[in-house]
Chain A
Amino acid sequence: MNQPVRPDVPPSPTPYAAPPHGVVGQSCGRLDGATKTTGAIKYGADLFWGRAELFVKVVRSEHAHAEVKSIITSEARAVDQVMGVYTHNDMPGTNLQGLILRDHEVLTSGRVRYMGDAIALVVAESEATARLGADAVQVEYEPLPVIDSIESALAKDAYPLYKAGNIMGGKRIRKGNVDEALAGAAVVVTESFETQSVDHAFLDLEAGVACYQDDLLTIEAPGQWVHEERRLIALALGLEPEHIRIIQPATGGAFGGREDISIQIYLGLAALKHPGKTIAMRLDRAESVRARHKRHAMRIEYTLGAKSDGSLTAAKVTVYSDEGAYASTGPAVMRKAASHATGPYRVPNVSVDVYGVHTNNNPTGAMRGFGACQMAIAYEGMMDRLAIKLEMDRFDLRIKNLIQSGDEVTTGQHIQVATAVECAEAAMGKFREVNGGLLVQPDEAHLRRGFGMSVICFGLGYGDGFPDCARARVAFDDAGKAVVYTGGVDVGQGLINMVAQVAADELGLQLDNVRVVAADTALTDESGSSSATRQTYFTGNAVKLAAEEVKEELLDIAGAHLQLHPHEIELTSGFARAIHVPGKEIAIKELVAQGKKRGYKLDQQAQFKPGTLCEDFDTGQSPRSFVTYLFGAHVSQVLVDIETGEVKVERHIACHDVGKAINPQAVRGQITGGVAQGIGMALMEEVISKKGRILNGNFTDYILPTIKDVPHVECIVLENTDPGGPFGARGVGEPPLIGAVPAVLGAIQDATGTAPNILPCTPERVWRMLQDGTNA
């Protein structure tokens, strides 16, 4: 009523208007949703039907550590329908693989270092005969001592697995003066944590086909980075990359588990040896668990010092990480662990030493969280312990120490937009909506209810100076549809929708007027891996930049048609419209047709390569370790049976600042899935092995959470614009898992009065912890 009278003038047009006005921010259905629902889309193993002519089976080591004395293949070759048996002698290239160090032979020539090492490859006319052939390969081993734990690897007289010994390498942070600060601290808390080996356990097992024809090796198998796979396959097989084409089939989950090469080189070798034939290979669950890399088990020793008012003064952290037999992405995981050792907290004096230790366990590499996950368990566990020692509220202690915008994280990088406090307050606010956050204890004396919280941060992208670039192409096809080309891989997380929605929004189109060509090295440019929570930020930006170029062309075409300056036109809902003149418009489809006749390309490429800076090796400091940081906070409520040790998660709240949710439903899906995986890691998932032999390599015994173990996840999505992200978006992939685990552990501590420090918190571990005050 008392609103000021506004002059009746149109708003000033801003050509640089960033806010989305179309499909970005809408929960559009998946473009591949219908075909995934009906089963029409083809996953790796679906490619066998009607195409597979020859099948591959790999002979894997029977020992966790041994010298291979001889490989006799004559009997295997004699098996009916076996078409070929190949060993390291048949490898045309370097025979080496590995994402960071090329330290892992594709087919072992001398020494096997874990039970997944491959020794020979059998090609046959059926899977059954390939298996018979594999069984007939005779391998003579000379067993060597097996190093099956960090402790045994570090023992004084430990057998050296490599010439340089059992320490693979390390990373460190040095900031301020930790010893002095700890000596002067009012309170000091020390604890050690042990995290476990975890399997990625995606449902879509490794499977694919390959064919070598006309000097081109085509491999269709699920990975996470088709262009890097092409490079690695080329090296191992001695081919030029341009003679290899990698096509990603539909993929059901990855979580980092497809980053290391799985079946692609075997498929490639078999295809080279049998030109013109379509080769097929798949792993069953047992082989997948046995052969593939895992999450690093870590031993983390943590000392945290604070003033009597709770201000953190110093953190001294030593981490031993089980790297398994080969490096995989271990060096990068160690760096991520080091740079996330104090999480989202202001700690002026920090000393971190991370050591990678070789064992004869499975190689350990990328998995959702990538080292930052294990550190969050430690730093959040320390905050809970410190709060108890200080008799301070856990929430207040965290708020007091969380970084604010402009503060620096442990690497010295200043964070432009730090929203940790906002996340923490939102998550706790949601928790307090029920009964003011006061828990009602059950009547049964053996049941205890408690809640825990976590606040986490996560550096997005590869970081630390590693080249990180996304490329994209946006073009209109002859039917007038916009086509987005990206080398990025959709592993189920929704990359296809993400790029389509970004392009559609930029071009003013509905989603059904966009289609996506993804992850085919012959058709798309390199866009980096689907990992490091990077695709929305990186490829999203590249797609937006390419679409902006096309948009400029469209506006020029429209300007001539509508007799307006391009700045006076907007693209929306499939039309180019005069901003100030109602009804003056032309369909974009029509513009495309006109433009093509007038010689416009309507086909643009762009790349996004923001760059980071390598850390100082002595101090670990870098002014720009990561392009941006993500923040999140969780609150978890559990019910613990203190007599049996059983834990049930009753409520779980997860708040994540994603910058901008390109597709809110997809974001909530990622958060919910991350929480489920986090509950699994906190309570039940664990690869159990003895002397390098995995004992629970199946889903009966490798315990994944079911729907009965995961409550409805209460998602809070915050959208504080990231200055560099597409439409202000950051990403969401990894942080939900990272936040979930420590919140569950904190809840167990709250319920029982005893803080767990060994994962997972199975009933027996919790029981034992309550018996003797530790779950060792």
Chain B
Amino acid sequence: MFYRPDTFAAALRLKADHAAAIKPISGGTDLVVGLNRGQSLGVDVLDLTAAKDYRRIDHADGSLILSGGTTFAQLEQLDIACLARAAASVGGPQIRNRGTIAGNLATASPAGDGSVALLALDAEVELAHADRGTRWLRLIDYFEDYRQTALGDDELISHVRIPTPSALQASAWYKIGKRGAVNISLVCAAAARFLDGRICLAFGSVAPIPMRAVQTEKLLQGQPLTGALLHQAAQAASAEVKPIDDWRASADYRKAMCAVLARRVLEQLQTDDERQMP
């Protein structure tokens, strides 16, 4: 069966009733790829694209609340550097017009560009159930293992909450791929510095999940981002990530790139004063 409810509430009802027997689809950038490779879905499909109330971006209490159905094309327009640039690096224009942030989070690919940017922003994700209501989780607690998340079979991702630009001092993004577009990250990194001084650093394609480099972050807290500290952080990041060898890239390369990318994204967070410091 193919369901196409016109409200998110109706979609939630269907998901709660059918649980694992129904798969949500928006951009289809994962499910359709699987179908093209001859994999059978084996389940019903829940098309979320007709739910108009699933594409909204709202401001509330110093936060930005994105509906799960927010597309990468919409995210590209946001005034949040790391998220906008990550979104702009996803696929090509057609994919960005279809692909959604909830899809990125639900698929939980370690190379999910949107997931990495949201991790650096210390975003929260709202998981919703038709009867049980909603629950908010920090994204860092949401990713559990390779393509495993806290999202229940009977839930949908309703919202993502990120700090507004006014709570952010700066954020940065860098992605290495084999070509200029329609590109799976070999390694990607995002960093954000908040007005309260916190710094978050996240990487993609270097662990079973999109990961926050929490050990490296500890080094950075409350310290001016001097050249020496950046160097130290780069080494720490490289040591902290757990990449694998695959035919896309070797673990060696990915580790080395984490050091390079950590320094690059953190440099972009520096204040002018810090840039002068050794």
Q: Which residues of A contact B (CB under 8 A)?
A: 284, 286, 643-644, 646, 648, 683-684, 688, 690, 695-696, 698, 700-701, 703-709, 762-764, 767-768
For A648, the chain B residues whose CB sits under 8 A away are: 180
Picked from A696, A700, A708, A764, the residue with its CB within 8 Å of the CB of B181 is A708
**Residue among A646, A701, A708 making CB contact with B176, cutoff 8 Å:** A646
Q: For the complex, give the distance between the alpha carbons of A696 and B249 in Å.
A: 13
The reply to whether A700 and B184 form a contact with Cβ atoms under 8 Å apart is: yes
Task: Return chain B residues, CB-CB under 8 Å to A763.
Answer: 176-178, 186, 253
Give every chain A residue within 8 A of B261 (Cβ-Cβ).
Answer: 644
Which of B92, B176, B179, B247 is within 8 Å of A709, CB to CB? B179
Q: Give the interface SS of chain B, mostly helix, strand, loop or mixed.
A: loop
Q: Which residues of A contact B177 (CB under 8 A)?
A: 763
Interface pair B186/A764, CB less than 8 Å apart: yes
Q: How far is the CB of B103 from the nearest CB of chain A, in Å?
A: 16
Residues of B contacting A646 in the complex (Cβ-Cβ under 8 angstroms): 176
Q: Are B37 and A286 in contact (CB under 8 A)?
A: yes
Residues of chain B in range 238-278 having any CB-CB distance to chain A below 8 Å: 247-250, 253, 256-257, 260-261
Give Cα A768 to B256, complex, Å: 10
Contact status A706-B253, CB under 8 Å: no
Query: Is the beta-carbon distance between B260 and A643 smaller than 8 angstroms?
Result: yes
Minimum-distance CB pairs A-B, first 4: A708-B180, A764-B253, A708-B181, A706-B181
Pair count A-B, CB < 8 A: 57
CB-nearest residue of chain A to B263: A643
Q: Is the CB–CB distance between A688 and B260 below 8 Å?
A: no
Option from B181, B247, B250 in Cβ contact (under 8 Å) with A688: B247
| Interface membership of B21, Cβ < 8 A | no
* Docked complex Cα distance between A701 and B36 (Å): 14
Contact B33 A703 (CB under 8 A): no
> When the two chains form their complex, are residues A644 and B257 in contact, meaning their CB atoms are under 8 A apart?
yes
Q: Is B182 an interface residue (CB 8 A)?
A: yes
Cβ distance A253 to chain B, nearest Cβ, rounded Å: 19
B253 touches A767 (CB 8 A): yes
- Residues in chain A near residue B181, CB distance under 8 A: 706-709
Which of chain B's residues have a CB closer than 8 A to the CB of A683?
178-179
29 contacts between A and B (CB under 8 A): A284-B38, A643-B260, A644-B257, A644-B260, A644-B261, A683-B179, A684-B178, A698-B36, A698-B37, A700-B33, A701-B184, A701-B248, A704-B179, A705-B179, A706-B92, A706-B179, A706-B180, A706-B181, A707-B181, A708-B179, A709-B181, A762-B178, A763-B176, A763-B186, A764-B186, A764-B249, A764-B250, A767-B257, A768-B253
Cβ of A641 to closest chain B Cβ, rounded Å: 9
How distant is the Cα of A644 from the Cα of B257 in the complex, in angstroms? Answer: 7
Give the shortest distance, in Å, between A300 (CB) and chain B (any CB).
24
Q: Which residues of B contact A695 (CB under 8 A)?
A: 247
Is A767 in contact with B256, judged by CB distance below 8 angstroms?
yes
How far is the CB of B177 from the nearest CB of chain A, in Å? 8
What is the CA–CA distance of A284 and B249 in the complex, to the nearest angstrom? 27
Instruction: Give Cα A646–Cα B178 distance, bound, in whole angstroms.
Output: 8
CA distance A473 to B176 in the complex (A): 55
Residues in chain A near residue B184, CB distance under 8 A: 700-701
Task: Verify B180–A644 contact, CB threshold 8 A.
Answer: no
B246 closest partner in A (C-beta): A695
Cα of A159 to Cα of B92 in the assembled complex, Å: 46
CB-contacts of B115-138 with A (<8 A): none
Give the size category of B's interface with A.
20 to 34
Given contacts A643-B260, A763-B186, contact A684 B253 (CB under 8 A): no
Since A703-B178, A763-B177 are in contact, a sample of 20 more A-B pairs with Cβ atoms closer than 8 Å, ordered by chain A residue number, is A284-B36, A286-B38, A644-B257, A644-B261, A648-B180, A684-B178, A688-B247, A695-B247, A696-B247, A698-B36, A698-B37, A700-B33, A700-B184, A701-B184, A705-B179, A706-B179, A707-B180, A708-B179, A763-B178, A767-B257
Smallest Cβ distance from A643 to chain B, in angstroms?
5
Known: A644-B176, A696-B247, A700-B33. A706 touches B256 (CB 8 A): no
| A706 to B93 alpha-carbon distance, docked (Å) | 12
The interface centre, meaning the residue of A690, A707, A764 with most chain B CB atoms within 10 A of its CB, is: A764
Closest Cβ–Cβ distance, residue B253 to chain A (whole Å): 4
Nearest residue (CB) in A for B182 is A706
A284 to B180 Cα, complex, angstroms? 26
Complex-state Cα separation, A746 to B137, whole angstroms: 52
A767 to chain B, nearest CB (A): 6
CB distance from B200 to the nearest CB of A (A): 22
Contacts of B180 in A (CB 8 A): 648, 705-709
Residues of A close to B253: CB separation below 8 A:
763-764, 767-768
- Which chain B residues lie closer than 8 Å to A644 at the CB level? 176, 257, 260-261
Contacts of A703 in B (CB 8 A): 178-179
Query: In the complex, which residues of chain B have a beta carbon less than 8 angstroms from the beta carbon of A643?
Result: 260
Hey, which chain B residues are within 8 Å of A707, CB to CB?
Answer: 180-181
Q: How far is the CB of A309 from chain B (nearest CB, A)?
A: 42
> B105 to chain A: closest CB distance in Å?
20
Q: Which of B166-222 contact A (CB under 8 A)?
A: 176-182, 184, 186
Complex: A767 Cα to B256 Cα, angstroms: 10
For B256, the closest partner residue in chain A by CB is A767
Distance between A297 CB and nearest chain B CB, rounded to angstroms: 15
* B110 CB to nearest A CB, Å: 15
Interfacial chain B residues near A768, Cβ < 8 Å = 253
Q: Mark B35-49, 1 if CB is under 8 A from A, else 0.
A: 011100000000000
CA gap between A286 and B36 in the complex, in Å: 9
* Chain A residues whose C-beta falls within 8 Å of the C-beta of B182 in the assembled complex: 706
How far apart sit A700 and B37, CA to CA, in the bound complex (Å)? 11
Query: In whole Å, how far is A654's beta carbon from the nearest beta carbon of chain B?
Result: 20
- In the bound complex, CA of A688 to CA of B184 (Å): 16
CB distance from B209 to the nearest CB of A (A): 21
| Min distance, Cβ B277 to any Cβ of chain A, angstroms | 18
Least Cβ distance of A730 to chain B in Å? 33
- Which of A644, A700, A707, A768 has the largest count of B CB atoms less than 10 A from its CB? A644
Q: A708 to B179: give the CA distance in the assembly, Å.
A: 8
Name the residue on B nearest A706 (C-beta). B181
In the assembled complex, the CB of A630 is this many whole angstroms from the nearest CB of chain B, namely 29
Q: How many whole Å from B204's CB to the nearest CB in chain A?
A: 15
**Cβ contact within 8 Å between B247 and A684:** no
Contact residues in B for A767 (Cβ distance below 8 Å): 253, 256-257
B37 lies within 8 A of A684 (CB): no
By a CB distance below 8 angstroms, the chain B residues around A764 are 186, 249-250, 253
- Bound together, the chains give a CA A709 to CA B177 distance in angstroms of 12
Give Cα A323 to B123, complex, Å.
Answer: 53
Alpha-carbon gap, A216 to B249, bound state (A): 53
Question: Is there contact, CB below 8 Å, between A684 and B260?
Answer: no
In Å, the complex CA distance between A696 and B248 comes to 9
Contacts of A705 in B (CB 8 A): 179-180
Closest chain-A Cβ to B267's Cβ sits at a distance in Å of 11
Q: Output the residue of B176, B179, B180, B260 with the most chain A CB within 10 A.
A: B179
Measured CA separation A346–B139 after assembly (Å): 65
Q: Which residues of B contact A706 (CB under 8 A)?
A: 92, 179-182
- Alpha-carbon distance A684/B177, docked complex (angstroms): 10
Q: How far is the CA of A767 from the CA of B255 in the complex (A)?
A: 12
Closest B residue to A762 by beta carbon equals B178
Chain A residues positioned under 8 Å from B257 (CB to CB): 644, 767
Q: Which of B38, B178, B249 has the most CB of A within 10 A?
A: B178
| A701–B247 alpha-carbon span in the complex (Å) | 10
Taken together as a complex, chains A and B put the C-alpha atoms of A646 and B188 apart, in Å, by 13
Cα-based distance from A646 to B179 in the complex (angstroms): 9
CB closest chain-B residue, reference A699: B182
- A659 to B165: give the CA distance in the assembly, Å: 61
Using Cβ atoms and an 8 Å threshold, which residues of chain A touch B250? 764
Closest Cβ of chain B to A471, distance in Å, is: 43
Is B176 within 8 A of A684, CB to CB?
A: no
Q: Give the shortest distance, in Å, between B159 (CB) and chain A (any CB).
A: 29
Contact with A along B80-100 (1 / 0, CB 8 A): 000000000000100000000
Instruction: Determine the residue in chain B with the shortest Cβ distance to A763.
Output: B176
Chain A positions within 8 Å of B260 at CB level: 643-644
User: How far, in whole Å, are A447 and B80 apart by their CA atoms in the complex?
Assistant: 26
Distance A700 CA – B33 CA, assembled complex (angstroms):
9
